[in-house]
Amino acid sequence: MLQQTQVDRVIPRYLEWLGRWPTAAALAAASPGEVIRAWQGLGYNRRALALHRAAQVIAREGWPEDLTRLPGVGPYTAAAVRNFARGEDILPRDVNVDRVERRTGHAFSGAAGQALMDLGATVCVARIPRCGACPLEDACPSRGTRDEPQRKQGRFEGSFRQRRADTLRVIAAAAAARADLDHEAVDALARDGLVVVGSDGTVSLP
């Protein structure tokens, strides 16, 4: 849920989610449609299906040693789970952690994971680093360094992403006729497995 979504939006939804599905087996037993409906408002709905499929794998086979075998789990998420949930000495490297390591020229252990994420998000920021507030300032060879701005994702308002989200929200509320919906959005959602189109043209959650 935290991938590309702000913490304050995630916390209440995470608690609701665990209240409804406290175990991987409980989530695995849900239908994809239930999962998509419960995910509404968190964005990037394919993550909901990946999480559901991962729960099914865990319920069927147990937790894999290599967490990247689970749908939707890449190296960063696997490292974060190993560090924060299992206490392993693995450093999850997101853009903030990478920036701190690059600027300081120092490799940190997994014990510094949360501190580095916070430092990179609030002090060692890309555009205007707050070096005077940094506990690593005296040992940092990159004091005052600013990074070039990264290309930002286009605006959500008026985008195709918004059309997809709006269309999925309608279908999550109740199945609808394809003729009454945004056809391009329906086709894209269907390709991602987020909706199914019946032979009669009715579009519904899977």
Identify the pLDDT of residue 77.
92
The structural domains of the chain, ordered by start, are 7-73 (1.10.340.30), 86-150 (1.10.1670.10), 160-204 (no CATH)
pLDDT, the chain, mean: 92
Q: Residue 206's closest CA among 183, 187, 190?
A: 190
- CB contact set of 95 (below 8 Å; sequence gap of 6+): 120
DSSP the chain: --TTS-HHHHHHHHHHHHHH--SHHHHHTS-HHHHHHHHTTSS-THHHHHHHHHHHHHHHH---SSGGGSTT--HHHHHHIIIIIT--S-----HHHHHHHHHHT----GGGHHHHHHHHHHTS-SSS--GGG-TTGGG-TTTT--PPPPPPPPPSTTSHHHHHHHHHHHHHHS-EEGGGS-HHHHHHHHHTTS-EE-TTSEEE--
pLDDT per residue as tens digits for the range 32-77:
999 999 999 898 899 999 999 999 999 999 999 999 999 999 999 9
Identify the pLDDT of residue 145.
85
Asked if residue 152 has pLDDT above 80, the reply is no
pLDDT per residue as tens digits for the range 46-56:
999 999 999 99
Identify the pLDDT of residue 151.
64
pLDDT per residue as tens digits for the range 109-142:
999 999 999 999 999 999 899 999 999 999 999 9
What's the CA gap between 171 and 194, in Å, rounded?
10
Identify the pLDDT of residue 60.
97
Q: Please, which residues bridge with residue 177 across strands? A: 202
Q: Please, which residues bridge with residue 204 across strands? A: 196
